[in-house]
Chain A
Amino acid sequence: MRKKTALQYLFAFILLVTAGCAGLPAIIPPDNASAPDEQMLCRELAPLFPSDAVQFVHALELTMQGGHSAMLMGVVNIHPRKQALHCVVMTLEGLVLFEADHASDRFKITRAIHPFDSQALAQGLISDIELIFFKPRGVFEARGTLENKSRILRFSEPDGGTLDIVSSPDRTVWTQTLRTPSHRIKRSVRYLFPKAPVNSRPFVFPKSITLTAAFPSRYTLTMTLTDANLISDTQPGR
């Protein structure tokens, strides 16, 4: 009887482990399998994560669980070298609902109107913006291609989770997938770049970005770029 129970537990354990592994896409390593150095990683990720300070203006569509949605405007100043950002969310009429300043040593909310007056929501919003605009902080783990020929970089997160960054062969569609240690998808971000030749402009930013949050709250944030300008890096938050 005891042996039967042990076997049942073992079977359940194997099932759980295999089910978890099934969520992590297999990487086909390149012929030259040497680990990329920091510079190579920066070059590879340059289209996604600018190294200069930039002000982005986006039209935002926030869709919550149950289909509730809201159209808003968003302004975000990113300072990648300082890992700092300043974020503003406003109504179409220009009324500021949320404004916050974030850096490694500070998190200051200067304005928050319901539903943005929740500290948890505000911190979640800032984390999502960091995920979208800043290079991964995790450790590089693997690179290669997927079955569909897309290029992939995999990073391990400090919590044991993984972050996959995948670019389509024509480099116009990029995705980031953040998974928990059990490989459950927590966040996915899809970047859509314009098809115009990259060399025709000094900077090319994604024309739209869609973030899908799976848990603890389910929501989708679609950001359509309306303007982007390089800004001074001397005063993060301004």
Chain B
Amino acid sequence: MMMLKKTFLAVAGTMLMAVVFSAGASAASMTAIQKAAGTMQSISADFIQEKHMKILVKPLISKGIIRFQSPDALRFEYREPIQNILIMQGKRVSRYIGKDGTFVRDNAAAMGAMTVVMDEISQWLKGNFNTSVFDAAVEEAPAPGQIILTPKDKAMAHFIQDIVLVLSEQPGIFKEVVIRENQDSYTRLRFENVQLNQSIDPESFSAPK
């Protein structure tokens, strides 16, 4: 179960981290990224997730939104093809599953991992990317650069090879984020409509109606 929590952390946390990094990462230097991340107050973005596997006829596409308000309010919502919302406020974490046009609270979901995620995010917001979970390294080639996150835990590395955050030519935007499980299986994330430090309706962090 611990491994599942850690791997969940790796994937869910990375999606958030990717947007956090996009605060102003136009230069391939950890200092610039740390500086930009240190000013982060809120994030609002849409995401498109593509799952690629050798056996798939075509990639699996999921779409959703992320809302984050510093220090510890989070909404992580899949809208297609499955409706599923994760809401976190402080240490309180709830998951809601879309069923027949309404949302049902999933009381049984193991949410321990999300408290770890929030601890990680608070570290990133302080500009500390070399956390207890990942080693972060910046590569300047191919230009304009990319950040490689490698799991510290060997057991986790067995399931997640690495995570690549590819910087864009356009300042403040990531081109893509790739979570590589192995050579046959990876997840690509693209963010759209990224808004930083804009006010977010507090209702976003309440139970869905």
A binds B: yes
Binding site for B on A (CB under 8 A): 55, 57, 59, 61, 66-71, 73, 75, 77, 86, 88, 90-97, 111, 113-115, 226-227, 229, 231, 237-238
Further pairs besides A93-B49, A94-B179, A238-B55: 17, Cβ < 8 Å: A55-B57, A57-B60, A66-B108, A67-B108, A73-B60, A75-B53, A75-B55, A91-B8, A91-B11, A92-B78, A93-B187, A94-B62, A94-B187, A95-B7, A113-B4, A114-B4, A115-B4
CB neighbours of B181 from chain A (8 A): 95-96
Cβ-based interface call for B141 (8 A) = no
Q: Report B16 CB to chain A, min CB distance, Å.
A: 11
With the chains together, A94 CA to B48 CA distance in Å? Answer: 12
Contact B109 A70 (CB under 8 A): yes
Q: Report A87 CB to chain B, min CB distance, Å.
A: 10
CB neighbours of B140 from chain A (8 A): none
Contact B53 A68 (CB under 8 A): no
Contact B82 A71 (CB under 8 A): yes
Contact B8 A226 (CB under 8 A): no
Contact B15 A59 (CB under 8 A): no
Closest Cβ neighbor of B97 among chain A residues: A71
Closest Cβ neighbor of B86 among chain A residues: A92
CB neighbours of B7 from chain A (8 A): 95, 113
CB neighbours of B82 from chain A (8 A): 59, 71, 73, 92
Given A69-B108, A73-B82, verify A93-B55 contact (CB < 8 Å).
Answer: no
Q: Mind listing 26 A-B residue pairs with CB under 8 Å?
A: A55-B55, A55-B57, A59-B81, A59-B82, A61-B97, A67-B107, A67-B108, A69-B106, A69-B108, A70-B109, A71-B82, A73-B51, A73-B60, A75-B56, A88-B55, A91-B8, A93-B12, A93-B187, A95-B10, A95-B159, A95-B160, A96-B53, A96-B181, A111-B159, A113-B3, A229-B58
With the chains together, A55 CA to B4 CA distance in Å? Answer: 27
Give the interface SS of chain A, mostly helix, strand, loop or mixed: strand
Contact A231 B57 (CB under 8 A): yes
Contact B97 A68 (CB under 8 A): no
CB neighbours of A229 from chain B (8 A): 57-58
Q: Report B93 CB to chain A, min CB distance, Å.
A: 15
Contact A94 B60 (CB under 8 A): yes
Closest CB pairs A-B (n = 4): A94-B187, A93-B11, A68-B108, A94-B51
CB neighbours of A97 from chain B (8 A): 4
CB neighbours of B49 from chain A (8 A): 93-94
Contact A88 B11 (CB under 8 A): no
Q: Report B50 CB to chain A, min CB distance, Å.
A: 8
Q: Report A102 CB to chain B, min CB distance, Å.
A: 13
Contact B56 A94 (CB under 8 A): no
Would you list which residues of chain B between 102 and 123 have a CB under 8 Å from chain A?
106-109
Q: Report B77 CB to chain A, min CB distance, Å.
A: 11
Q: Report A93 CB to chain B, min CB distance, Å.
A: 4
